[in-house]
Amino acid sequence: MIVVGVDGSVPARAAVAWAANDAFRMHQPLRLVHAVDRQPHQISKFPDPDRPDQLRRTGQKALNEAVALVHERQPSIEVTTRLEEGSPGSILREQAKAAAEMVVGSRGLGGFTGALLGSISDQVAGHTEGPVVVVQGAQRPTYGQVVVGVDDTPEGRPALAYAFEQATLRGSTLRAVHAWRLPVQAFGTVSPHEDPAREEMVKELLKPFARQYPDVTVVEDIRYAGAVEALTAASAEADLLVVGSHGRGAVSSALLGSVSKGVLHHAPCTVAVVRAS
């Protein structure tokens, strides 16, 4: 099942369209979720007994519009809706437990009041074991390319698996980007643009996935740059950027990891954050 957060905003509508297409490609049912968050409206100075019903009506309207969009894009997929009471971040994290993929818009309105990109990153992407896809609202050309960040940590392997699957489902080229920099003390001892060991490392990491997905054309892209800088630049001509989540901190902002958080804020395309279980 694919779960998508719905609030009626432009990015949320883009997320619904993205999720509908992914559900069709992955042969998954789709669940549309709207969170009715009463907290911002519970202001005792201005009591409004009709406000709770209005919030639910607004949420149901957003869900109905989302269902219509799904039927327009992919009429054959199974779609259900959930109107839940509570904090959007908590509701989405709970719904994500049973999901193959969680999809959200980059910025929220209405039922997701205050759910800007940083809030989504901290409350959803950093706490969800499955892939979390953050969809931009702006229209972009279709490039036929998926970009994935490659490193030699165990946390990076789920991102590679997800990226290869997405590339084969879309019939897209996969650009595998590995970014690196020399330690400051090493400058002057090695050319920063020559490191055969890194090229071999990238080939070895990609090899098992390339065998599993022989139809995917892979471009190995090794850059002497910071990871966020390299991935953001590569994503300029990508339909999807996939990164792993290496965060291990005790607070939500640390759980996401600096690279995944950085690309969520700077990449121009849709970003999938895949956190290792």
- Position 30 in a domain: yes
Residues in the chain where the model's pLDDT stays below 70: 40-52, 107-128, 182-194, 246-256, 276-277
Q: How many structural domains are present in the chain? A: 2
Q: Which of 108, 135, 162 is the last residue of a domain?
A: 135
pLDDT recorded at residue 171:
97
Judge if 20 and 113 occupy the same domain.
yes
pTM summary value: 0.86
User: Which domain CATH number covers 79?
Assistant: 3.40.50.620
Burial of 132 (0-12, 13-18, 19+ CB in 10 A): buried
C-alpha angle 144/126/39, rounded to 5°? Answer: 115
d(CA 18, CA 272): 12
| 3-class DSSP assignment, residue 66 | helix
* Token pair belonging to 62: 């957003």
pLDDT recorded at residue 156:
85
Judge if 151 and 96 occupy the same domain.
no
Residue ranges of E strands in the chain? 2-5, 30-36, 79-85, 101-105, 132-135, 145-149, 173-180, 218-224, 240-245, 270-275
d(CA 75, CA 91): 27
Judge if 80 and 158 occupy the same domain.
no
| Contact call for residues 28 and 1 (beta carbons, < 8 A) | yes
pLDDT recorded at residue 115:
39
Q: Specify which residues 233 forms β-bridges with.
A: none
- Position 140 in a domain: no
pLDDT recorded at residue 163:
97
pLDDT recorded at residue 261:
82
Q: Which of 113, 135, 157 is the last residue of a domain?
A: 135
* Token pair belonging to 268: 């121009």
pLDDT recorded at residue 218:
98
Enclosing H/E stretch for 196: helix 196-212
Judge if 198 and 95 occupy the same domain.
no
Domain containing residue 149: 145-275
| Contact call for residues 22 and 102 (beta carbons, < 8 A) | no
